[in-house]
Each structure stands twice: as C-alpha cells, then as structure tokens.
A and B are shown apart, each in its own frame.
Chain A
Amino acid sequence: MNRKATISKKLIKRILGFILTIFILSVGVFYIARLAPGDPLQSYYGDAVESMTTAELDAARVRLGLDGPIYLQYSKWISNVLQGDFGLSLKYKTPALEVVSPLIGNTLLLGGTAYILVFVLATLLALFCARNEDTLVDRIICKVGTAAYYIPPFWLGVVLVLIFSINLQWLPSSGAYDIGKSGDILNRIQHMILPLVVMILSHLWYYAYMIRNKLLDEIRKDYVLLAKSKGCNKDEIVFKHCFRNVAPTIVSIMAISIPHVLSGTYIAESVFNYPGIGALAVVSAKYHDYNLLMLVVLITGILVVSTSMIAQSINEVIDPRMKLKEVPTCRIIESSSS
C-alpha cells in the first residue's frame, strides 16, 4: 500500500521534471537560435532575397512566423507543436516532421549498433586486462587504448576515408546506402563500417578502462581471498566471482552513457555525411532553419532526458543496498537457541 503510493509519487515527480527540462531546453535553444546572427529568409529564398523589397520581406516574415518579439514567436510555436504541427522547414520547404522522420531510423541503427558493440567490446577488453593485470599485454593495451581514445574523431574519419574509400576503394565514404538500395542490408552495413570504427575507437577505451578499474577494485576485495583459499584459480576469480559483482555496475554505466554515445553518433554522422538526425542538426543550425532545428533539439532532448531517467531507475533497482532496505524483515538474526 504505502510502497505503491511512494512509487507513484516518485513517478509523477519524474514526469514533471521531464516536462520541465524539455520546456527549459526548448526555450533556451529557441532564444539562442533567434539571437544568433544570420537571416533565415536567406535559406528560404536563396539569392532572391537580395532583390526583394522591405515590404515583401516583412510579409514573408509574418507568413513564416518570424515577426514580433521572440516570446510571442515562441508561444505561437509551442501552441502549434502541442497540436502536432512542427512547422515548415525553411531550407527544404516541406513540413519539418517529414524531413526528420525518415532519418530517425538511420540514426537509431547507427547509434544502436555502435552502442552495443562499444559495450560488448569494452567488457571483453576489460575482462582480458583484469585477468592479465600488470602483465606486459595489459600495459600495452592500456597505453594503446589511451592513445586511441585521444585521436580526434574528425581527423580519424578523414584518414579512414582517404585510405579505405579513396585509395583502396573498399568502402563508401558517405551516405547510409546507395541509391535504390535502402533495403539492402549488406549495402547498409558497408556504409556503417567506417562511422562505426570511428565511434568505437573514440568510446571503447573510455568504458573499457572504467570497467577494468571496477574489476580491479573487485579483485582487491576480501571475498577474493576466501575464493583463493578454497582453491579457485585466477580465471574463476575474475570471470565467476568478480564479473558477477561488476555486471550491475556495467548496466548502470551503460544507462548513463547513452547521451555520450548519441553525441558520438552525431559527430560520426556529420563526418561521414551519414543521413541522420545528427547531420541534420548541423545543417539546420547552419541555415537558420529554426523549425527543423527545434524539432531535432526536441527529439534529442527527449531521448537524452528520458534515457537518463530510465538509467536512474535502473540504478536504483540494481543497487543492492536499496534492495536490502526493501526487505528488512527477511534479515535473519543470529538465532539464540544455537
């Protein structure tokens, strides 16, 4: 009874916090975008802007919702959004939602694949390093991993394109698929390889190192001494005893890392001209395509805030101390009869 009430109270609090965060985010980005120098009409009319009269320009502004003080523009925008109308993209001259929706899948495919690969590889690498702690191979991996982590992804992307696309001509340098092949899985994979390599190299060691250190902390714990003293070998200690205790931490690191990997996806998209939300975000900011930019910001914001809230809930469930608090009655007291 009581627990249910506190849980639903918590849930309501979370949802209110979520709405507030997205609201503040949208106001902030709305103001910054409008205050930034540049003329959105330039991207709508192109060079024709030069030959338009002041009256014509004013009329266009009114039509596109670009007139009046910014707070009025915002209130108009948000009331439209609440009715499901995200406005027109100034650059593409079609509804912003139509521009964005086919790209969401591309981004989720690339980001999701990278996310899974980063964590599978990071965990394997961390286990390997912890198992071989302080040996030459562990030290080499640590050095190489750190170096790889600090390679700027832009530069790495250019180098990879030069080698694999231009010189060797093995892999495409941009796009998500060749024209007419959007359903061809092999073709899609080919287009994802280079962006994935960049994303994995720029995230892998960051997480592998984190997990490795968690494992090493675990290896120093008392229960390892007991496991050793009953005859366990190093493999059993690392893989059976310690990994088990680190696994929940890995899940919570994974949950917290979603924004980090998402931002990496955006970077990779713009480096490789991969048609996704990230590449679109850059384009829309460049062309003062306000409606498009706001939509991209909203999608990203909702994704980031909701995942980190889910992460928080996962962590609360996983944390054994929280679990313990919920079942105090199950604790067995030293029986006085024995």
Chain B
Amino acid sequence: MAEPVLQLNNLSVSFDTSSGEVEAVRDISLSLNKGEILAVVGESGCGKTVMSQSVLKLLPKTSRIKQGRIIVDGEDITDYTEKQMRRLRGSVLSMVFQDPMTTLNPTIPIGKQITESISKHTRVSREQARQRALEMLNLVGIENPEQMFALQPHFFSGGMRQRCVLAIALASNPKVLFADEATTALDVTVQAKIIDLLLDIRDKSGISIVFISHDFGTVARIADRVAVMYAGKIVEIGTAEEVYYDPRHPYVWGLMSALPSLTKEGEDLTSISGMPPVMLNPPLGDAFAVRNEFALAIDYEEMPPMFQISPTHSAATWLLDERAPKITSPISLQRRTEV
C-alpha cells in the first residue's frame, strides 16, 4: 500500500499559560491515506482544533509541540521553520474553518481572495489566476462565477461563503484538507450540500480530508474512518463501520446513545453526565473514568493503552484488557447489526 499523506506519531501539544501547562493534545497517533476521509469527533474542548492547527503550525506562540512527529507525504515537518511552512500551507496542507461569516476578509472581493492563494504557489499570469479562480468557483457550485468574482463577502449567504472558503482552500491543489467544523455553523440542508460537495471533490481530485466535527450524525455521511477524541487523546479509532457498528469505548457508547437517529423508538435519549475535564493538570489515569459508569479501579490509576481490536480498529479502555469483566455495549447499539 502507498505511503500515507499524513502521519502523526505520538503527537503532544501543550500551551504555556499563566496558570500552568494546558495539555491540549496528548499522545495522538494517526495516519491518513490518499483520498481518504478521516472524521475526528469529540466534545468541545477535546483538542480537535489544536490538533489540526498544530499540523499547519497556526497556533499562537504560547503553544509548543511537546513530543511526537508530524510527517507529511513522507517528509518530517515537525521542525519546519515558518518560511518552510508557508510553502506548504495552501499548496500541500489547507484548512477550512468553522464560521464562514468571519473567515473571509470583509473588504477584499471574493475573486481576489482566491487568486491570492493561487499566485502564492504557482507562477501564473493574472489572467491565468483569474481563470483558475473562476474554475474553482464553478467547482464549489457557485453560479455565475464571473459576476460573483468582484463581489465582497457580505453579498453572500453563509453557505455560499463556506463554498468560497473551500474554493480558496482548494485553489492550489492541496493534498490534505482540514475541515474544522466546516459545516457546524450552517443550517442542516446547507450542511448536507457542503458534505456532498466535499465527497464529490474527493472523488474528483483524490484529496485526503480530515473532517472535524462534534456531531456523530454529520460524520456518518462522510467518513471512511472515524477517530473519537476525549481530553486530548484518541480513545477509539477505526473504519466508520467498526466505530458505528461495534464501538468499544464507553465514551463512544455514550455519544451514540445521545444520537436521536440511533436510538429505538420509545427508548430514552441519554446524554453523558458530567463535563469534560479541563486540560490543566489532567488526571493520572483515564480522563473519562469519572464520567464512566463502567469504570474500573485501574482506570483511576493508569492510563489505558490502545488495545488492537482489528488491524484497523483500536480503542483505549481497560475494558478490553483480558482481565477485565466482560461488559457488552448497551442493547440499543447492537440493534443495528440486525438491520
């Protein structure tokens, strides 16, 4: 099999703040193949944004990569300088952000914001850049691109703005696109259209996408593989099928039973009680233990390692240890295997 386009090996990212070290990302390992869509799911504050921005090195100066390597297309970029990173940004690694209302420069016409991204990485004439920008606008489904080219962002609706942001992000043919809650701020129908657009673009260009979301439901439509994060760590990762039909981590069970579409009629929608921890001085053991109804004594003392379930599926919970009591996942989740 070909080499993955993105690889994170034991990546940890911390912030130095006045009240101490915030361990936002802890020991994350994952890899992303060409043309693959990996969804990263988790509650607010679990470190999804920090993880993706640390790859593009967009984090503020108070952050630092504590350990681990970032490998892009076979090249170790962990120690890249700002100047080296500038060459990668846009052309190899690209990003789409959460709020399309604020991510576009309000005073620069859309077209110019796209051509800027093109002429940054390829030597093109003004006319060529314009043609390419029009192509991009067309690709992301904006009608009358010639007309829209000269307009400023405030003429566009949220959905159209997010399409424009996508056009900017994709303009220089990047290999990896980070979509950080790219559909969260949009209403449901627009959300679905953007997701279809992303799938379409992936099929056409073979781009790899890291699709970040806090919503399991949205992710189901798009993901090839799913990584679930909790308190800066990946607690379960596998193909979409494995994570949806055979989840192993109690946190993932909790997330699933909070989904209206996955619970049976008449059954209560449950939510996970408690709050995710603040990542200042994280606990010694499993950070989820205090909210976990199946917690074992060891959960409070020692961090669970990643247990391999299948070549593609692994989860970090002591329940998978051979000495642990056999606990099956809640009934409602098993139902779907019967369907």
Binding site for B on A (CB under 8 A): 221-223, 225-233, 241, 244-245, 320, 324, 330-335, 337-338
Name B87's closest neighbour in chain A (CB-CB). A231
Listed by A's residue number, 5 A-B pairs whose Cβ atoms lie within 8 Å are: A228-B58, A229-B89, A229-B90, A231-B87, A332-B148
Contacts A244-B107, A332-B160; is A222 near B87 (CB within 8 Å)?
no
Question: Counting CB contacts under 8 A, is B303 at the interface?
Answer: no
Decide: B157 and A222 in contact? CB cutoff 8 A: no
For chain B residues 75-112, which have a beta carbon within 8 Å of chain A? 86-91, 93-95, 97, 99, 102-108
Question: Counting CB contacts under 8 A, is B317 at the interface?
Answer: no
A230's partner among B107, B156, B169 (CB-CB below 8 A) is B169
Provide the residues of chain B in CB contact with A229, threshold 8 Å.
56, 58, 89-90, 93-95, 169
- Of B116-124, B239-247, B269-277, B304-312, the one contacting chain A is B116-124
For chain B residues 105-149, which have a beta carbon within 8 Å of chain A? 105-108, 116-117, 120-121, 141-143, 148
A225's partner among B87, B97, B190, B193 (CB-CB below 8 A) is B97
Distance in angstroms from A321 CB to nearest chain B CB is 9
Question: Counting CB contacts under 8 A, is B279 at the interface?
Answer: no
Decide: B97 and A232 in contact? CB cutoff 8 A: no
Decide: A233 and B86 in contact? CB cutoff 8 A: yes
A-B contact sample (8 more), CB < 8 A, given A230-B168, A335-B143: A226-B97, A229-B95, A229-B169, A230-B171, A244-B108, A320-B106, A331-B154, A338-B143
- Interface residues contributed by chain B, number (CB under 8 Å): 42
A228's partner among B89, B108, B156 (CB-CB below 8 A) is B89
Name A223's closest neighbour in chain B (CB-CB). B105
Binding site for A on B (CB under 8 A): 56, 58, 86-91, 93-95, 97, 99, 102-108, 116-117, 120-121, 141-143, 148, 154-160, 165, 168-169, 171-172, 190, 193
Contacts A222-B97, A330-B155, A338-B141; is A231 near B117 (CB within 8 Å)?
yes
Name A321's closest neighbour in chain B (CB-CB). B154
Name A246's closest neighbour in chain B (CB-CB). B107
Count A-B contacts at CB 8 Å.
Answer: 90
User: For the complex, what is the distance from the CA of A45 to the CA of B58, rounded to whole Å?
Assistant: 77
Contacts A331-B155, A338-B141; is A232 near B116 (CB within 8 Å)?
yes
User: For the complex, what is the distance from the CA of A330 to the CA of B121, rounded to whole Å?
Assistant: 34
Contacts A222-B97, A320-B154, A334-B160; is A230 near B89 (CB within 8 Å)?
yes
Distance in angstroms from B119 CB to nearest chain A CB is 10
Name B112's closest neighbour in chain A (CB-CB). A240
B157's partner among A226, A320, A334 (CB-CB below 8 A) is A334
Distance in angstroms from A72 CB to nearest chain B CB is 58
Provide the residues of chain A in CB contact with B90, threshold 8 Å.
229-231
Contacts A332-B157, A333-B157; is A230 near B103 (CB within 8 Å)?
no
A222's partner among B91, B102, B108, B171 (CB-CB below 8 A) is B102
User: For the complex, what is the distance from the CA of A227 to the CA of B86, rounded to whole Å?
Assistant: 11
Of B88, B103, B169, B190, chain A has the most CB atoms within 10 Å of the CB of B103
Distance in angstroms from B179 CB to nearest chain A CB is 12
User: For the complex, what is the distance from the CA of A229 to the CA of B172, rounded to whole Å?
Assistant: 12
Distance in angstroms from B254 CB to nearest chain A CB is 31
User: For the complex, what is the distance from the CA of A273 to the CA of B216, rounded to whole Å?
Assistant: 76
User: For the complex, what is the distance from the CA of A230 to the CA of B94, rounded to whole Å?
Assistant: 7
Decide: B190 and A226 in contact? CB cutoff 8 A: no
Contacts A332-B156, A332-B157, A334-B190; is A230 near B106 (CB within 8 Å)?
no
Provide the residues of chain A in CB contact with B93, threshold 8 Å.
229
> Lowest 3 CB-CB distances: which A-B pairs, in order?
A230-B90, A231-B90, A230-B117
Contacts A226-B103, A241-B105, A334-B190; is A231 near B157 (CB within 8 Å)?
no
Of A221, A222, A334, chain B has the most CB atoms within 10 Å of the CB of A334
Distance in angstroms from B53 CB to nearest chain A CB is 8
Decide: A231 and B58 in contact? CB cutoff 8 A: no
Provide the residues of chain A in CB contact with B107, threshold 8 Å.
244-245, 320
Distance in angstroms from A167 CB to nearest chain B CB is 48
User: For the complex, what is the distance from the CA of A324 to the CA of B154, rounded to whole Å?
Assistant: 8
Provide the residues of chain A in CB contact with B86, threshold 8 Å.
231-233
Distance in angstroms from A307 CB to nearest chain B CB is 26
Decide: B104 and A223 in contact? CB cutoff 8 A: yes
Provide the residues of chain A in CB contact with B89, threshold 8 Å.
228-231
Contacts A334-B159, A334-B160, A334-B190; is A231 near B102 (CB within 8 Å)?
no
User: For the complex, what is the distance from the CA of A230 to the CA of B108, rounded to whole Å?
Assistant: 15
Distance in angstroms from B16 CB to nearest chain A CB is 15
User: For the complex, what is the distance from the CA of A241 to the CA of B169, rounded to whole Å?
Assistant: 17
Provide the residues of chain A in CB contact with B172, threshold 8 Å.
230-231
Distance in angstroms from A245 CB to nearest chain B CB is 5
User: For the complex, what is the distance from the CA of A73 to the CA of B165, rounded to whole Å?
Assistant: 70
Decide: A223 and B190 in contact? CB cutoff 8 A: no
